[in-house]
Structure 1
Amino acid sequence: MSRSAARGAHVRGFADARSVRHEDVARDGWRGTRMTVRARIIAAVVALSAVTVMTAGATAFLLQVREADAATDSSLARAVLGLRTVEDRADPTTGQPFQTVDRLLNEAVRSRVPGPHEGIVTLLNGRLSWGPATETRSLPLGDDKPLLANLARLPTRGPVVTATVRTPVTQYRYVAVPVHVASDPGSTGLFVVAFDRSAQVRALRGTFVTYSLVGLGALVVIGAVAWLLVGRLLRPVRLLGDTARRITESDLSERIEVTGADDLSELGRTFNAMLDRLERAFSSQRELLDDVSHELRTPLTIVRGHLELVDPDDAEDVRSTQALSLDELDRMQRLVDDLMTLATADRPDFVRLAPVDIGRLTDDVHDKARGLGDRRWLVAARADVTAQVDAQRVTQAWLQLLANAQRYSTPGSIVRLGSEVRDERLLLWVRDEGTGVPPEEVDRIFARFHRGRADRSAHGAGLGLPIVAAIARAHHGRVFLEQPPDGSQPGVVFVLDLPLVDPATDAEPDPDTDTDPSDLELAERR
């Protein structure tokens, strides 16, 4: 490429870059000048109100002008009737009919008193003849020469003329009546009554200006009220934006303060519910990571330490290290399985509800519990009902409670289980005769990785009861414990409290068993 071509390409590239920058600046400037939703709503409300006010005012103004014109024409018609009445009367000075046009015109002017913006003038043979006295303050038609010239051109032998004419002075609405007297054939007269239409319209315009000023003030009030009202209505949206900006990956505690019961308030509640779900999801993830890092660190350290110290030439040392490593790996596998169960507990498909025969489920759990250890496993109550539950999850939770009862009780002691229906609730319970739960641990036993001081097993991770609680919550129920506060009876009762959906029959205890879990005189089911 030649030097000149390269220079031209460089210049074109620079020009393209400047064009792109100008477009970006223009776009950013446009973004900076965008109106907010609040401003757009206020502008639309004020504009619509202004159009409404101006349309109503203009319509009222036009109607009033038409009404004023109709009133003027009515007054002019009455002036013609008044002239005809004068023509039919006798001359008051002689008592005889009028003998001259001039005398008739004079009497006609004297018999009509002009109203506001009204004037009277007569023409005799095309020349100004009579007008009202100056003290009547009537419209001085005789001073408007262009008007007189226009009237002089009207025919004096034709019909009555009603017309509107504009002169340099003003605009007139007038009626011109030709006047004739039989005894004075050589004279022609013209009787004229005119109204200053411009003055009437100016009065109406003054009213319209006043109306416009009042309308402008009303628009200001409407704009101010709308600004406050729309601002209050859009407050949840602003709070939503502010809250969304304050939310970070590590802090999801911000919430919108919601008041009211409209659509925007419902939007705020929905947003808060979404934040609750996100916070629970992130908290669950953080807890899972913390739990995994906390619980897996110990077995990994143990395995690593023994592998580092193992003597490969000592067969016994290798076998013991292998057994220890496998045991720790089994514990890690159980821990991972429990953590995965807790991690999926909030998913909609964690439980799959189906009609389940609770009586048969009680018997099945009892049969499985016999393999947990050397205890006397008794069914103390059995509810012969059908409930909507997840049989596998409920069995998992129930067996976990039974395993806990076996762990905290002595060999040969009685462990009772039962199912009952109370107040449309399904109760699945386990009672042991162990040492019970210390009062200081009651509020913590369902927390993850909490192990009681009386735990005889070194392999428990403290996830059994949290899994039971998660299964209960997934069924929209709960798990709780009951124990005598004074220690009068040994052991503790764990209860799964689940909703009973569409029960087939009422809860009826097995006639061969006692439904009271506190009764110690129970026969073992065979």
Structure 2
Amino acid sequence: MPRPARAGGRADVPGVTTGAIPLHRRPLAHLTVRARLLTAVVLLAALAVMITGGTAFVLQARATDARMDNSLARAVAALRSVQAKGDPSTGLPFDSVKSVLYAGVLNRVPGKNEGVFALLNGRPVYWAAPETRAVHLEQDPDLVAALAALPPDAPAVARTVATPVTQYRLIAVPVLLDGDPVSGLFVVAFDRAAERAGLRATFVMYSAAGLAALALIAGVAWFVVGRMLRPIRLLRDTTRRITESDLSERIEVTGRDDLSNLARTVNAMLDRLERAFGSQRELLDDVGHELRTPLTIVRGHLELLDPDDPDDVRATQALALDELDRMQRLVDDLVTLATADRPDFVRYVPTDVGRLTDDVHDKARGLGDRRWVVAARADVTVQLDAQRITQAWLQLLANAHRYSSPGSTVRLGSEVAGDRLLLWVRDEGLGVPPEETARIFERFHRGQADRTSHGAGLGLPIVAAIVHAHHGRVFVEHPPANVGPGVVFVLDLPAVDLVAGEPRPVPHLVENR
């Protein structure tokens, strides 16, 4: 059944396409970017040459017509002057139209491409020597017929007359005298086509020069555009060589233009992708290893389980639950790290740093037998995510508890240094070897002291992710040897919207870190 047309529209007609033109059917879609740019440059240059040449030709043609009209006007003025002075042979006024025309023709010396003659009662007469006349107007019967058809009182204005011989720009001056019934016509004309011939020759040469210039522009543009698009060609070739297992290819960049900057940006993107894929492979390997171990332990104990022995069942159950809890913690940590780049990972609220310091201290005391000391408190209010910062701070305190001996002192504090908020933890434990300092915040990295622990190596990476989400950083300080053993972990955060509060006494021992 055919599909009905939509209201206000039209039904689909077989063989008729609507909407956008497919890319492969669009003009120039099959050309390369270099060819498209070259085509655009050449077309624009050709258009500029045509507009410039056409405008110049029109202006020069108008100037030529104006020069001819000016000469024709002077010819009329000269005839009037001759007629006013009278017959030069007698000094008396002219007594016939023929004598006026004779004097006028003899007084006019024709220029190049110019002719002069007279008509008496519509019939041509002339007196100038043949060698002085460049154009023989009387030999063009169509011109003579057109002039004879003019009425005796026709105005003496410049006009254009085209005949099969050529095109004329002329002026015809009627000559009449009282007492003489003859009507005369004094004619001065230019061969307009001949006058413009030189102009046309000039513009033929201009067109040839324009074509040569377009060819030169095309050659230069082909070279320049090719150099400009070289980073794109390198980008294309590089991306073709990149595979899922090899992201080491990079684009060779030379120059400081926009395309070179694009190549640098792509190289930076490839660096990030290579790191991301490397981290992803490492993550999958480490996650597989971390999950495989508890699964193997649970499977082994279940295979050796004696269902008739209640003690064995209870022991295996406890072990399986412990391993499942460890896997759950691993999954929770991975989820935390996976969401660290989301915009809603942290939620800023005004936070009393002094109260936050005391709350974290109270929670830390439940971690175990240590001497927990608030060594400094910043009584200020800043914008931060108190829950996330508490999570990161407690992770540092948990690490301090893990790597210090029972009864040792663990100090924590908060300070403001300029526009930075510093939250820190110092323990008296084993410290961090210098060779491990640069790697302790990497995922699944575990130092030598962690080899026998149950940690997955995600605690400090979570701390780093939380701090980076706050646009801060986390780093390690090693106290001087005379201060004692241990290490200091510092959360360096921007003090956003800092507001100083009323100072309060520190309820515990205050010591320098």
Band the TM-score falls in, shorter-chain normalisation: 0.7 to 0.9
User: How many angstroms apart in 1 are the aligned matches of 2:409 and 2:378?
Assistant: 21
The one-letter amino acid of 1:369's match is A
Shift of 1:136: 3.2
Shift of 1:406: 1.8
In structure 2, the residue corresponding to 1:454 is in which secondary structure? helix
Normalised to the residue count of structure 2, the TM-score between the two structures is 0.79
Q: Aligned residue for 2:170? A: 174
User: Are the structure 2 counterparts of residues 460 and 100 from structure 1 closer, same or farther at C-alpha, using a change threshold of 3 Å?
Assistant: closer
User: Are the structure 2 counterparts of residues 510 and 236 from structure 1 closer, same or farther at C-alpha, using a change threshold of 3 Å?
Assistant: farther
In structure 1, the residue corresponding to 2:335 is in which secondary structure? helix
User: How many angstroms apart in 1 are the aligned matches of 2:155 and 2:348?
Assistant: 102
Shift of 1:297: 2.1
User: How many angstroms apart in 1 are the aligned matches of 2:472 and 2:155?
Assistant: 103
User: How many angstroms apart in 1 are the aligned matches of 2:326 and 2:376?
Assistant: 35
Matches within 5 A, 1:98-247: 98=94, 102-123=98-119, 128-136=124-132, 138-148=134-144, 150-151=146-147, 163-179=159-175, 185=180, 189-217=184-212, 219-220=214-215
Q: Percent identity?
A: 66
User: How many angstroms apart in 2 are the aligned matches of 1:505 and 1:213?
Assistant: 81
Cα contact 2:441–2:464 (8 A) shared by 1: yes
Shift of 1:505: 0.5
Cα contact 1:420–1:509 (8 A) shared by 2: no
Shift of 1:213: 3.9
Shift of 1:498: 1.5
Cα contact 1:446–1:469 (8 A) shared by 2: yes
User: How many angstroms apart in 1 are the aligned matches of 2:117 and 2:198?
Assistant: 24
User: Are the structure 2 counterparts of residues 121 and 312 from structure 1 closer, same or farther at C-alpha, using a change threshold of 3 Å?
Assistant: same
Q: Are 2:359 and 1:364 aligned?
A: yes
Q: Aligned residue for 1:474? A: 469
User: Are the structure 2 counterparts of residues 266 and 213 from structure 1 closer, same or farther at C-alpha, using a change threshold of 3 Å?
Assistant: same
Cα contact 1:117–1:196 (8 A) shared by 2: yes
The one-letter amino acid of 1:431's match is R
Cα contact 1:509–1:515 (8 A) shared by 2: no
User: Are the structure 2 counterparts of residues 498 and 190 from structure 1 closer, same or farther at C-alpha, using a change threshold of 3 Å?
Assistant: closer
Q: Aligned residue for 1:415? A: 410
Q: Are 2:340 and 1:345 aligned?
A: yes
Q: Are 2:426 and 1:431 aligned?
A: yes
Stretch of structure 1 that moved more, 152-161 or 127-136: 152-161
Cα contact 2:412–2:426 (8 A) shared by 1: yes
User: How many angstroms apart in 2 are the aligned matches of 1:432 and 1:74?
Assistant: 107
1:491 to 486, 490, 493: 486
User: How many angstroms apart in 2 are the aligned matches of 1:337 and 1:419?
Assistant: 28
Q: Are 2:443 and 1:448 aligned?
A: yes
User: How many angstroms apart in 1 are the aligned matches of 2:219 and 2:463?
Assistant: 59
| Count of paired positions | 493
Shift of 1:472: 1.6
Q: Aligned residue for 2:18? A: none
Write the deviation string for residues 480-517 of structure 1: whole angstroms up to 9, x where unpaired: 11114657621111111122111220796846767653
Stretch of structure 1 that moved more, 350-359 or 274-283: 274-283
Write the deviation string for residues 65-89 of structure 1: whole angstroms up to 9, x where unpaired: 3443343233223212212222233
2:81 to 85, 99, 115: 85
User: How many angstroms apart in 2 are the aligned matches of 1:317 and 1:152?
Assistant: 138
User: Are the structure 2 counterparts of residues 128 and 471 from structure 1 closer, same or farther at C-alpha, using a change threshold of 3 Å?
Assistant: closer
Cα contact 2:160–2:168 (8 A) shared by 1: yes
User: Are the structure 2 counterparts of residues 299 and 151 from structure 1 closer, same or farther at C-alpha, using a change threshold of 3 Å?
Assistant: closer
Q: Are 2:251 and 1:290 aligned?
A: no
In structure 2, the residue corresponding to 1:418 is in which secondary structure? strand
Q: Aligned residue for 1:398? A: 393
Normalised to the residue count of structure 1, the TM-score between the two structures is 0.77
Q: Aligned residue for 1:331? A: 326
In structure 2, the residue corresponding to 1:201 is in which secondary structure? helix
User: Are the structure 2 counterparts of residues 306 and 92 from structure 1 closer, same or farther at C-alpha, using a change threshold of 3 Å?
Assistant: same
Stretch of structure 1 that moved more, 422-431 or 440-449: 440-449
2:303 to 302, 305, 308: 308
The one-letter amino acid of 1:499's match is P
Unaligned runs of 5+ in 2: 1-14, 16-21
Q: Aligned residue for 1:74? A: 70
User: How many angstroms apart in 2 are the aligned matches of 1:196 and 1:100?
Assistant: 30
RMSD between superposed Cα atoms in Å: 4.2
Q: Aligned residue for 2:4? A: none
1:504 to 499, 505, 509: 499
Unaligned runs of 5+ in 1: 1-19, 21-26, 519-526
The one-letter amino acid of 2:69's match is D
Q: Aligned residue for 2:11? A: none
User: Are the structure 2 counterparts of residues 371 and 190 from structure 1 closer, same or farther at C-alpha, using a change threshold of 3 Å?
Assistant: closer
Shift of 1:106: 3.6
Q: Aligned residue for 1:13? A: none
User: Are the structure 2 counterparts of residues 509 and 466 from structure 1 closer, same or farther at C-alpha, using a change threshold of 3 Å?
Assistant: farther
